[in-house]
Amino acid sequence: MLNFKRLLATTSVLATLGATSALAETELRMMWYNDGSESEVMQSIIDRFEAKNPDISVVIDVVPYKSIMESLPIQLAAGAGPDLARVTDLGGLSKYYMDLTPHISDSAYWEASFGPFLDWLAPDSDRISGFMTQLTVTGPYVNKTFFEQAGVAMPGDGATWDEWAAAANDVADKLDIPIPMAWDRSGHRVSGPAIAMGAKMFNADGEPALVDDGLKEMAQRLYDWHQDGTMTKELWGSVSGSSYLGANEDFANGQVVMYMSGSWQIGQFSGTIGDAFDWWAVPAPCGAAACTGMPGGAALVAMKDTKHPEEVGKLMDFLAQEENLAEFYGKNLFIPGHLKLATGGVDFATDDARAKHALSTFAGAVPKISPTAFDLQGYPNNRIMFNALISRLNEAIVGELTLEQAYVRMEEDVAKQLAAKAVD
């Protein structure tokens, strides 16, 4: 009987302890999207964090990129968002970010490591809200094997968009390749070349001014390229509005000579294309004003509605450490968004010469990026401009509007959305 009582008491104590420890455990939810398989690398780093902090568990909710763009803002507005999220609308969602400063151990380290990017996340304040999981630069890839087979010399550093278009057409004609040139259907992708042509994007007062002669120069070229077959209408013309479409699969399948995208494709191309052909990143082609792409990237940010700010701060502090980010960038072949690592501190986990060349090409393009491009990337309402640009230009390309009508509509769309936002 005594043994039974002891057993009962021990069981009760254990059960109480178990319940207490279960109650003490904090679960953090991280909304995440993948370009490749970077959530796996993040999970392995988080596993180490959880081992050191057994009272905190972190769940990575991997969702489609579309959910990050469309569902996350609604969740955040409803106060039902995740504790952390990987986002690309860096400034657009900034009102939902928390200030990590009171919850991190060394804010000076964050300032020194992520300085300029912190402004992208908090355009109107000195908050520290997160760090870049990757810095991206837009730019083209070419199928170098096609150029070699066609006996066409690749235009060199400093070549213009017109020269590249002519060369891509030449290769496509000689080898009967269906698509000489393809661009991601994205306003962000068009903006870099437009700035290269002289687009200012903002007026003298710093207000958005999307349409000017520089933008018209680039828009006219894109329009012409779609009409003369340099670009296929199937990619840009086959959807409406601001929907994103990439030509990465067409490029990987050897259907495209030149593909305008960005550095985030490196890991994917390294895996999917492999040795099938030489895919080659080339420097941003030039316009009259510059030879520039657009900077950009994705950031992991903490949300202010979290019920566990201390734990979130602890986690972010851990993830932002140099060795962890070096591992993350290195394994995913991402251009580092950490200033020290960006100057050569990452050992990229690849033996693929094409991937290494692409990484050095895009990393080398960063100093050449136009200040206008940085300003546009840092502008919190930049998606309004990107969406107006791509959707109206598309309507002109398929013949629903003239280019002049499209320019008027672009400006109206931007004004309409800014006015809607100003009502709050």
Partner 1 sequence: MTKNTDQPAAVKNTAVSIAGWPVQQVFRLLEYPFSKIQRGVGVQGMPWIFLLPNLIFFGIFVIIPLFINFAFSFTGGTELFLSNRVYTGTEQYRFLLDCKTFGDPITCREDRFWKGLYNTFIFVFFQVSFLVLFSLITALILNREIRGRGFFRAVFFFPVLLSPVVVALIWKWILLRDGILNAFLVSIGMDKILFFVSPEWAMFWAVFVSIWAHMGFYTLILLAGLQAIQPDLYEAAEMDGTSKERVFWRITLPLLWPNLLVVVVLALIKGVQVFDEVFVLTGGGPGTATQFIVQYIYNTGFTEQVQNFGLASAASIVLGVILFVLTMLQLAVTRARDNG
Which residues of this chain interact with partner 1, rule CB under 8 A?
69-70, 73-74, 77-78, 89, 92, 233-234, 237-243, 381, 383-384, 387, 394-395, 397-401, 405, 409, 412, 417-418, 420-421, 423-424
Q: Which two tokens stand for residue 98?
A: 């928390």
Q: Which is nearer to partner 1, 59 or 77 (CB)?
A: 77
Tell me how crowded residue 265 is: count the other CB atoms within 10 A of its CB: 27
Q: What is the DSSP string of 121-174?
A: H-TTS----EEEEEEEEEEEEEEHHHHHHHT-PPP-TT-BHHHHHHHHHHHHHH
CB 239 to partner 1: min, Å: 3
Q: 159 Cβ partners below 8 Å, 6+ apart?
A: 285, 286
Q: Could you tell me if 224 and 244 are in contact, meaning their C-beta atoms sit under 8 angstroms apart? A: no
CB 150 to partner 1: min, Å: 23
Tell me how crowded residue 170 is: count the other CB atoms within 10 A of its CB: 17
Burial string for 77-113 (b: 16+ CB within 10 Å, else e) reads eeeebbbbbbbbbbbbbbebbbbbeebbeeeeebeeb
Q: Which is nearer to partner 1, 12 or 253 (CB)?
A: 253
CB 55 to partner 1: min, Å: 33
φ, ψ of residue 138 in degrees (nearest 5): -80, 150
Q: In a 10 Å sphere around its CB, with 0-12 CB exposed, 13-18 middle and 19+ buried, how is residue 65 labelled? A: middle
CB 71 to partner 1: min, Å: 8
Is 56 in a helix, a strand, or coil? strand
Q: Which is nearer to partner 1, 175 or 401 (CB)?
A: 401
Q: Which is nearer to partner 1, 162 or 412 (CB)?
A: 412
Q: Could you tell me if 170 and 205 are in contact, meaning their C-beta atoms sit under 8 angstroms apart? A: no
State how far the Cα of 398 lies from the Cα of 237, in Å rounded to an integer. Answer: 6
CB 66 to partner 1: min, Å: 9
Q: In a 10 Å sphere around its CB, with 0-12 CB exposed, 13-18 middle and 19+ buried, how is residue 193 labelled? A: buried
CB 397 to partner 1: min, Å: 8
Q: Which is nearer to partner 1, 83 or 413 (CB)?
A: 413
Is 208 in a helix, a strand, or coil? strand
CB 271 to partner 1: min, Å: 22
Q: 379 Cβ partners below 8 Å, 6+ apart?
A: 91, 123, 202, 208, 385
Q: Which is nearer to partner 1, 90 or 325 (CB)?
A: 90
Residue type, 63: V
State how far the Cα of 340 lies from the Cα of 107, in Å rounded to an integer. Answer: 16
Q: Which is nearer to partner 1, 98 or 385 (CB)?
A: 385
Q: Which two tokens stand for residue 138?
A: 């837009």
Q: Which is nearer to partner 1, 17 or 420 (CB)?
A: 420
State how far the Cα of 107 lies from the Cα of 112, in Å rounded to an integer. Answer: 9
Q: Which is nearer to partner 1, 245 or 349 (CB)?
A: 245
CB 252 to partner 1: min, Å: 14
CB 385 to partner 1: min, Å: 9
Q: Which is nearer to partner 1, 327 or 395 (CB)?
A: 395
Tell me how crowded residue 381 is: count the other CB atoms within 10 A of its CB: 16
CB 181 to partner 1: min, Å: 17
Tell the residue number behind the tokens 């398929």, with chain if given: 398
CB 46 to partner 1: min, Å: 30
Q: Which is nearer to partner 1, 351 or 424 (CB)?
A: 424
